[in-house]
Amino acid sequence: MRAHPIDRPSDLDVVRESYDRVADNYARMVATTGIGDIRTHPWLKASIDAFADTVSGLGPVLDVGCGPGTVTAYLAERGLDVSGVDLSPRMIENARRLHPQCRFGVSSVTDLDLADASHGGLLGWWSLFNLPRDVLPQVLAMFARALVPGGHFITATHVGDEDALRTEAYGGVPVRWTTHKWRPEPLTHLIEQAGLRPVAELRLPADEHVGPGLVIMAKRPG
């Protein structure tokens, strides 16, 4: 039995099925348009590079909500001991096909059972915004416990106040998930309450593809 069980989101199965439906289209769009590929966005790439430099040598790194594995593979190229997990089995099938040199598994973040002080780095890269507002603090607390002292967590998410229901995505595929948007200050406060100390923040304006975004990197004190 887990020492700190995390509540299961009520829409978990619906969200999983939605990401399974868009997985193939999304993987193709990453390959053909560069959407979701940090190499095409200098500021996001710089954030991931800083994270990689910071956690190098601290222990295993886990990319939570890795999708088709783009960032996982990039971090592996940087020499990190990194693996990825995703809620969607179809996303993981694409990740394994595209990046056979990397390790991937299927899991919801709420089902992960990470040992205390077991990871040098954790990512929630554009992957935690589907978590209900009462579940995200539980996940952040798990991340804080799982990091070694001095280990780092990085997250990127959508900025706003609303809980936006999405009904189609990535080429008009029918989906059903809620994007829980966050303002920088409340999200930073949640990260601090979890036991992590924010060390860097990047605010991104809206562009032709997505609305405003936010990147936060935080460390476990030690």
pLDDT (tens digit, 0 to 9) for every residue of the chain, 222 residues total? 567 899 999 999 999 999 999 999 999 999 888 888 899 999 999 999 999 999 999 999 999 999 999 999 999 999 999 999 999 999 999 999 999 999 999 999 999 999 999 999 999 999 999 999 999 999 999 999 999 999 999 999 999 999 999 999 998 999 999 999 999 999 999 999 999 999 999 999 998 778 999 999 999 998
Q: Reduced to 3 states, what is the DSSP secondary structure of residue 7?
A: coil
pTM over cut 0.95 = yes
Alpha-helical regions (H) of the chain = 12-33, 42-55, 70-77, 89-98, 136-146, 184-193
- What CATH number labels 12-219? 3.40.50.150
* Contact between 176 and 167 (Cβ < 8 Å): yes
